[in-house]
Structure 1
Amino acid sequence: MATRVAAVRAVAWLLLGAATGLTRGPPAAFTAARSDAGIRATCSEIILRQEVLKDGFHRDLLIKVKFGESIEDLQTCRLLIKQDIPAGLYVDPYELASLRERNITEAVMVSENFDIEAPNYLSKESEVLIYARRDSQCIDCFQAFLPVHYRYHRPHSQDGEASIVVNQPDLLMFCDQAASRSMIRFRFDSFDKTIEFPILKCWAHSEVVAPCALENEDICQWNKMKYKSVYKNVILQVPVGLTVHTSLVCSVTLLITILCSTLILVAVFKYGHFSL
């Protein structure tokens, strides 16, 4: 009987303390671990998908990113895609400038001093920064658009195609903490912990310095995000010539050149008017 009365008294004191704020909160380390564990339990994967559109030597690289978080958690966040361009492809910086003026895409070349006319065996890899935009057809999606072009390749001895591997990009995210309205706060008496942007707590694993936007020269600390890619890499096939056709191609080209030059000279001497 005495034990039962003691238990009832203990429960009563706990309830009274919780109501009046007299109970002592849990330790800070324990609370932080519990809150982080709760956030990670609700983490959903970031899915990235690369697609190559169009046919021929002039293609469009489309990158789509889907978040599982609600749009409220991402409304003050920006997404930057750092894409490496292999030597077999090139991006025309003048074309990018034109697309930016028409508000079609927000992309800028990072690499400098490269020749867009050079063949792939005389070219190096380049780098492009693409500021992704929200997808109007998907509430928690971003997408980025980049026109790419094939370079000329050496002829092969057997296979009439060359492979170009487009590696997965780096996914960078920057969230404006001052403007955010989706901040989660936990308060336990003297313990006050602010957890900002659960998506960063879930998948950010390093920081990268990059321009905040194309319109200004400010530098921001972007978070490099982990993601799951639908495809491991994008592989493009470029048609190339065969070395066994070298003699035939050179002979035909020479004969056509001689024939056209002869016809031009005949027309000039026949219909031209010469004055001394």
Structure 2
Amino acid sequence: MHLKQFALAPRPFQMLIILLLISPNSSKDSPCQSLNVSLTQKIDNEGFHRELKWLLERGPTSLQCKLAIRLDVGPEMYLNPDQIADLNRLGHLSVLIVGDVDVEAPAHLSKGHITYIYVPPFAERVSLNVPFHLRYQRAQISGGYGKVIVNKPSVLALSPQSEIKAPCDISNGVLCSWRNVSYQALFDEVELLVPVGDLDDYPLVSIVTLLLGCAGCIYTLSVLSTTPL
């Protein structure tokens, strides 16, 4: 439309044209479209019970944007649903586990699951401490240690125009549209070591277990035989 035609157009039509011209730019310049996010990761504790410690930092212009951290948990580790439920109930975290988690199964009989950790709003620096556990791995000759790779987390931002579908929060199964956020990862890839059973010790362990079982049965029978009816 030429400038002269625009000037002669009715005022409501002029306002509509202005809104159409401004809307794409305003959505493009929305603070939730270009986020400045950094994530620091540290793993504490030893043995089979560990804790992921994240520090998420973002710019002040994006404080109203809803963010979540997605962690794809491999079969060699797991988050305990009961433990996470307690942390959610106490308000320490807001975490949703997607998938069945068998806390008793070893690594070679387990499947991975997805975890969403929802970031508290209106804070430039957020600390998140997420407990997780390593699984027992299949024993091997000469024993040693098995390797567990902790996958790099993804940062998601709520964005109605995006194609990624994920739960809106922990309250129900309603899905929202999210998008991946490029962030500055202030950590290296993490590889943990977990002790693995030694198959060379299998005969000795079997014999000792059998002897202890027999000794327990003999003791139980002796106590029952000396107890008056």
TM-score scaled by length of structure 1: 0.64
- Could you tell me how far 1:66 is from its partner in structure 2? 2.1
Give CA deviations for 1:150-195 in whole Å, capped at 9, x if unaligned: 212111223421110011011002379xxxxxxxxxxxxxxxxxxx
- Could you tell me how far 1:216 is from its partner in structure 2? 5.1
Aligned to 1:108: 96
Aligned AA (1:273)? P
Give CA deviations for 1:234-263 in whole Å, capped at 9, x if unaligned: 211111211111111111111122122212
Aligned to 2:115: 128
Tell whether 2:224 aligns with 1:245: no
Distance 1:175 1:127 in 2: 20
Q: Secondary structure at the match of 1:77?
A: coil
Q: Secondary structure at the match of 2:126?
A: strand
1:141 alignment partner, one of 108, 125, 137: 125
Is contact 2:142-2:198 (8 Å) kept?
A: yes
Matches within 5 A, 1:181-200: none
Aligned to 1:261: 217
Q: Give the structure with higher Rg (CA).
A: 1
| Structure 1 residues 155 and 149, CA gap change in structure 2 (3 angstroms) | same
Tell whether 2:154 aligns with 1:153: no
Aligned-residue Cα RMSD (Å) equals 2.8
Aligned AA (2:91)? N
Q: Secondary structure at the match of 1:248?
A: helix
Distance 1:219 1:125 in 2: 21
1:220 alignment partner, one of 176, 180, 193: 176
- Could you tell me how far 1:227 is from its partner in structure 2? 1.7
Aligned AA (1:143)? S
| Structure 1 residues 44 and 146, CA gap change in structure 2 (3 angstroms) | closer
1:53 alignment partner, one of 44, 61, 64: 44
Distance 1:263 1:97 in 2: 43
Aligned to 1:179: none
Give CA deviations for 1:21-53 in whole Å, capped at 9, x if unaligned: xxxxxxx8xxx7xx98xx9xxx89632222222
Aligned to 1:182: none
Aligned to 1:7: none
Q: Secondary structure at the match of 2:102?
A: coil
Distance 2:35 2:158 in 1: 18
Distance 1:162 1:265 in 2: 42
Tell whether 2:151 aligns with 1:164: no
Distance 2:105 2:38 in 1: 35
Tell whether 2:56 aligns with 1:65: yes
Q: What percent identity do the matched residue pairs reach?
A: 29
Distance 1:76 1:103 in 2: 20
Give ranges in structure 1 of 5+ residues lacking alignment: 1-27, 177-205
Aligned length: 201
Tell whether 2:74 aligns with 1:118: no
| Structure 1 residues 222 and 257, CA gap change in structure 2 (3 angstroms) | same
